[in-house]
Chain A
Amino acid sequence: MTAPSTAEADADAADAHDAWPAAAYARDDGAGARNRLLVLPSVICSRLVADRIADAVPGAVSAGHDHGCAQLGADEEQTERTLTGVATNPNVAGAVVVGLGCEGVQSDRLAGALADRGVPVRELSIQGVGGSDEAVDRGVDAATELAASAPRTTAADLGDLTVGVVSSDLQASTVDCADPLIGAFVDRVVDAGGRVVVAGTERLRPHGDAVRETMAEDVAARYEEVIESSPSRTAGLTRRASARSFDELARLWGERPVRDVLPYGAPATHESGVALVNAPTEFAEASTALAAAGAHVVLHATGDGIPTGHPVVPVCKVTGDAETYAALQGDIDVDARTADVADLSTLVGRVVGGERTRAEEHGLTTFAISRAGPSM
């Protein structure tokens, strides 16, 4: 069984028109670029049930993951925080939380946190309803209750956005071509008063002093506490990152000052400008962190052409690599060798307004959460 394709999730793909302001869904606290009904398993043991529920309900997507039990302290908190954050993303219209019943990240507690944050939510557990067959049936009922097609009744401009950004590798085409293109768009977003969140912080490890210099003192202290104190899981990548200068790496976010540092899975709360989130460059984990931070859309610089999308946020794939673009043309949204920032801005506007990204067209998504401790 596979997660339902996001290609079916949005029935209202926008026609070609001026990209900005983009037509968007109204939310209590802003706007959404998508109107996803999220079927969210609290634990790996309920992920297949969640997939089946989402498959059966038009407009629903599932976010199956491998965690939710046998986790210690800060590691369990991180998983729970992330699930909460993803379900409160502006692109989510409502959520059905599905648990097994005996797990660490209890489904009713998770649903309660979502209800507290104003997310329309239903909850059930496999053990609570008496089995997986029953859980699929009840889950479909619950999701159908929540699913309502809504019109796009508001408009979002650059300044209204939270844009997630991640660069997956240190290839020359990425650092010298794709990153700066994204960075130029970040400039526009920040100039307009919008928010940007940057994942993929292992690359910054060798450049601690330089990073902190772009931050106010309290933010620098947070950077040390949140990012530098956690053990590096990718020593090789960190080592290679020392071969590039900080300025080169910072082009990804337009070399703007960093206003905040977020723990993995936490929502962005800064008013505008650039924040870093403690997330790896591995795309599935990075995009989840960006979704939990509240990103409406994610820009992904990838020299390898990692093609997978995300169930909750549309992802624009940007590459500067000729071979990759030739091999994976159907999976790449932007050829950074030839596109300029105006092109990228137009694309993002159309995507926010409903046009499907390449990843949304093929519909393959991965949802993964970074761990902060061992499975027990």
Chain B
Amino acid sequence: MDEFEGYRRPDGTVGVRNRVAIIPVSVTASSLAERIAADAGDGVVATPHGMGSNQPTPAREQTRRVLRGVGRNPNVGAALVVALGTEAIDADDVADAVADAGRPVETLRIREAGGTAAAIERGVDLAASLRADADGARRESADAAELIFAVECGGSDATSGIAANPAVGAAGDRLVAAGGTVSFSETPEFIGAEHILAERCVDDETRERLLDRVEAREDMAREMGVDLRGAQPTPGNQEGGLTTIEEKSLGAIAKGGTTPVEGMVDYAEPLPQGAGLVLMDTPGYDVESVVGKVAGGAQVVAFTTGRGSTTGNPVAPVIKVTGNPKTWDRMANNIDVNASTVMEGESLSAIGERIFGTLLDVADGRRTEAERRGLTEFAINEVQPTTGGERA
């Protein structure tokens, strides 16, 4: 029986952390959220971003969906939604999503609080009382099947496709077998490998959506009149031996393991529990991509990196895995799992078991290196206007 101890929420989900999240509805309240979290101390995190001001409908809808999704994430024990008070996204709308999920929530508007200084003070007070509310929750026994495990790759190099990604894929297969959900995303990093994923889709609808979304990403390069290279693969990818997006993608999809693709959801759309392997349509841009999956309900993230990405997330613990022995050596303080042992003969399935074990330990409460350092990067993908109409 694969188990862990987590916080059971009134909505039935299980959190692996018990954060108090300070969520700004717009860029205008973003620095206030950061300041409140900094002053409020341990266990209080902010989700700062640059969205929510003067956005056209598709972009605003996506922002709203992310904010509500983050507020509902099972790892959020309580939330404070902050706003100036004049934004198109209403603080109550975001707060309602949190309340519907059974967590304590407050709202704070700078205009009602009497200005910035007063809002900081009030925000810190509210955060303290929300922290006290959230502290009432206790960890209890939960099944691995209740986990939604997000998988990401960033700062990739040639070792990603050879070692780290297949090892994480093996761990993902383990979780799927145990009844959980595994989600990977980064749609531009399906380009060149989408036929492999397409064959594993369980139905036509999923297959068509996958191929359609991959084409949409390729169209973005076409619309900008540029070679995708430089954005994908990145300079670091190329220095690390990845020559083309096809090569990167073929290595990238290995992190999703070998099970059938049960479905594909949009950026920040809810990920179903107990559903096996589910894709999410996100950019390859790491921080935005991880945020999308966390907004979709992922409690834990495994993030493979060849070059040494150090980013985390405020709401979900991010487990860093590298298949590059030099990176493991140099950047040990930022990496959790060494998958480069595959080059010394350890089998991928053995490393996969290690990663699965780490997943359960982290779910139980063991802090990742990113958590210990308070590395909590957050950004929301912005729907861009295109000459041919709006598109994610």
- Assess A72 versus B377: contact at CB under 8 Å? Given A327-B112, A364-B32, A375-B283: no
Instruction: Answer yes or no: A183 CB below 8 A from chain B CBs.
Output: no
Complex Cα distance, B115 from A329, in Å, reads 7
Task: Give Cα A47–Cα B312 distance, bound, in whole angstroms.
Answer: 12
Determine whether the beta carbon of A307 is less than 8 Å from that of B330: no
Q: Does A305 contact B (CB under 8 A)?
A: yes
Q: Mark B371-385, 1 if CB is under 8 A from A, else 0.
A: 001111101011011
Q: Using a CB-CB cutoff of 8 Å, which residues 236-279 of chain B contact chain A? A: 236-237, 239-240
**In the complex, per-residue mask of B175-193: 1 if CB is within 8 Å of any chain A CB, else 0:** 0000000000000100000
Contact with A along B24-52 (1 / 0, CB 8 A): 00011011101101100000001001100
| Interface check A133, CB cutoff 8 A | yes
B12 at the interface (CB under 8 A from A): no
Taking residues whose C-beta sits less than 8 angstroms from the other chain, chain B's interface range is: 35 or more
- B221 touching A102 by the CB < 8 A rule? no
Known: A44-B379, A307-B116. A103 touches B236 (CB 8 A): yes
Contact for B385 among A76, A232, A368, CB less than 8 A: A232
Residues on A with beta carbons closer than 8 Å to the beta carbon of B281: none
A16 lies within 8 A of chain B by Cβ: no
Q: Quick check: B309 and A66 within 8 Å, CB to CB?
A: no
Closest residue on chain A to residue B36 by CB atoms: A2
Cβ 8 A contact of A71, one of B231, B286, B331 = B231
Q: Is B345 in contact with chain A by the CB < 8 A criterion? A: no
Q: Is the CB of A376 within 8 A of B27?
A: no
- Tally A residues with Cβ within 8 Å of B: 65
Given A45-B377, A375-B283, residue A305 in contact with residue B84 (CB < 8 A)? yes
Complex-state Cα separation, A108 to B114, whole angstroms:
44
- Interface assignment of A322: CB less than 8 Å from any CB of chain B: no
Within 8 Å CB of A100, what residues of B?
Answer: 155, 236, 308-310
- Closest beta carbon of chain B to A366's beta carbon, Å: 5
Instruction: Flag if A131 contacts B287 (CB, 8 Å).
Output: no
Name the CB-closest residue of B to A323.
B111
Q: When the two chains form their complex, are residues B56 and A236 in contact, meaning their CB atoms are under 8 A apart?
A: yes
Residues of A within 8 A of B30 (CB): 366
Q: A76-B230, A104-B235, A330-B117 are in contact. Are A48 and B374 (CB under 8 A)?
A: yes
Q: Which of B34, B46, B285, B377 contacts A376 (CB 8 A)?
A: B285
Whole-angstrom CA separation of A44 from B379 in the bound complex: 9
Q: Does B234 belong to the interface (CB within 8 Å)?
A: yes
Judge whether B226 is part of the interface by a CB distance below 8 angstroms. yes
A376 to B31, CA, bound (A): 26
Binds B, one of A24-32, A191-199, A247-255, A276-284: A276-284
Inter-subunit contact A328/B331 (CB<8 Å): no
A233 part of interface (Cβ distance < 8 Å): yes
Contacts of B332 in A (CB 8 A): 131
- In the bound complex, how far is the Cα of B124 from the Cα of A244, in angstroms? 42
Task: Give chain A nearest CB distance to B335 CB in angstroms.
Answer: 9
The answer for the CA separation of A130 and B326 in the assembled complex, in Å, is 10
Q: Choose one: B31, B287, B381; the contact of A364 (CB below 8 Å).
A: B31
Within 8 A of B (CB), among A311-327: 324, 327
Residues A132 and B309 in contact, CB atoms below 8 Å apart: no
Would you call B309 and A45 a contact (CB within 8 A)?
A: yes
Candidates B54, B239, B283; contact of A282 at CB < 8 Å: B54
Verify A45–B311 contact, CB threshold 8 A.
yes
Pick the residue among A45, A282, A324, A328 that contacts B53 (CB under 8 A): A282
User: Is A14 engaged at the interface, CB distance under 8 Å to the other chain?
Assistant: no
Residue pair A127, B307 in contact (C-beta under 8 Å): yes
State whether B231 touches A76 (Cβ < 8 A): yes
Q: Which residue of B lies closest to A135 (CB)?
A: B310
A-B contact pairs, 25 of them (CB 8 A): A2-B34, A69-B286, A70-B283, A72-B221, A72-B231, A73-B226, A76-B230, A101-B308, A102-B235, A102-B308, A104-B234, A126-B308, A131-B308, A131-B310, A132-B334, A305-B111, A328-B110, A330-B116, A331-B110, A362-B117, A362-B120, A364-B32, A366-B27, A373-B384, A376-B228
10 smallest A-B Cβ distances: which pairs? Answer: A102-B236, A73-B226, A70-B285, A375-B285, A375-B283, A2-B38, A2-B34, A66-B379, A102-B307, A364-B31
Other contacts beyond A127-B236, A366-B28: 11, CB < 8 A = A1-B38, A44-B287, A70-B285, A127-B331, A132-B334, A231-B385, A233-B55, A234-B55, A284-B28, A330-B115, A331-B116
